[in-house]
Amino acid sequence: MKKKKWQAYQEHGFYKGYECLGAHIRERNGKKGVEFALWAPHAKAVSLVGSFNYWNEHANPMIFEEDTGIWHCFFAGISAGESYKYKIFDHHGGSVYKADPYGYFCEKLPGTSSVVVDLSEYEWSNNHWMKQRKSKNIYQEPMNIYEIHLGSWRRNEDGSYLNYKDLVEQLIPYLKEMNYNFVELMPIMEHPFDGSWGYQTTGYFAVSSRYGTPSDMMYFIDCCHQNGIGVILDWVPGHFCRDEQGLLNFDGTPLYGKIDHPNWGTIKFDFGRPQVRNFLISNALFYFDKYRVDGIRVDGVTSILQLNFGMDQPIYRNQNGGYEDLEGIDFLKALNKAVFERYPFAVMAAEESTDWPLVTYPIDRGGLGFNFKWNMGWMNDTLKYIEHHTFERFHHHNLITFAMHYAFSENFILPLSHDEVVHGKKSLLDKIPGSYEEKFKTLKVLALYQISMPGKKLSFMGNEIAPFIEWRYYESLEWFLLEYPNHRNHQLFIKKLNAFYMKDQPLWYNEKSWDGFRWLDVNDADRSIYSYIRFSEDDETIVVFSFTNQMYNHRLGVPRPGKYRIALQTNSEDFGGEEKPLLGYITAQAIPSHGFDYSIPLDVSGLSGYLIKRKKSRK
- Is 327 among the residues known to form the active site? no
- Is 351 among the residues known to form the active site? yes
Cα 299 from chain centre = 8
d(CA 614, CA 585): 9
Written as one letter, the residue type at 461 is M
From 147, 166, 184, 299, the catalytic residue = 299
d(CA 165, CA 231): 16
Contact 451, 140 (CB under 8 A): no
Helix (H) / strand (E) containing 500:
helix 485-503
Spatial neighbors of 380 by CB under 8 A, at least 6 apart, are none
Runs of H (alpha helix) within 187-270: 214-226
Spatial neighbors of 174 by CB under 8 A, at least 6 apart, are none
d(CA 455, CA 512): 9
Cα 554 from chain centre = 39
From 184, 351, 352, 524, the catalytic residue = 351
- Beta strands 182-185 and 144-148: pairing type? parallel
199-215 as b/e, with b when 16 or more CB fall inside 10 Å?
bbbbbbbbbbbbbbbbb
Runs of H (alpha helix) within 352-435: 376-386, 398-401, 428-431
Nearest to 450 by CA among 464, 467, 439, 436: 464
Spatial neighbors of 476 by CB under 8 A, at least 6 apart, are 152, 153, 154, 155
Which residues are marked as active site? Answer: 299, 351
